[in-house]
Amino acid sequence: MYTFVREVVMTTTEDEIPDRLKDIYGTENILVIGRAEELPQKSIASVVILRKPFYDRRDRMLWNKWYESHNCVAVHLKGSLVIFFDKKLQKQFYTIRN
């Protein structure tokens, strides 16, 4: 997480984060989706970027239900949510306001 914050969040704008993560993890390992209803039930990518994570109350409820049943590290930025799937990482939720 330290590397993600130092090398991605602090050096790029939020709109550039998907491209930066594609450079790091490879295009095939990044999934960019719009809203919580599109969250995959199985991890089909190393990183999922949710562009409008809490668009409305329904999305927030869908996110909470999904997060409870998945082992991931989620990073809430101003306008998006970056979800990392890695069995080595403990389940955590970070909020970064940059």
Each residue's pLDDT, cut to its tens digit, for the chain (98 residues) gives: 788 888 888 888 888 888 988 888 888 889 999 888 888 887 778 899 998 888 889 989 999 999 999 999 999 987 889 999 988 888 999 988 75
CATH number, position 57? 3.30.110
Number of domains in the chain: 1
The parent domain of residue 36 ranges over: 2-95
* CA-to-CA dists, residue 95 to 24, 80, 92, 98, angstroms: 22, 10, 10, 10
Q: How far apart are CA 83 and CA 71, in angstroms?
A: 10
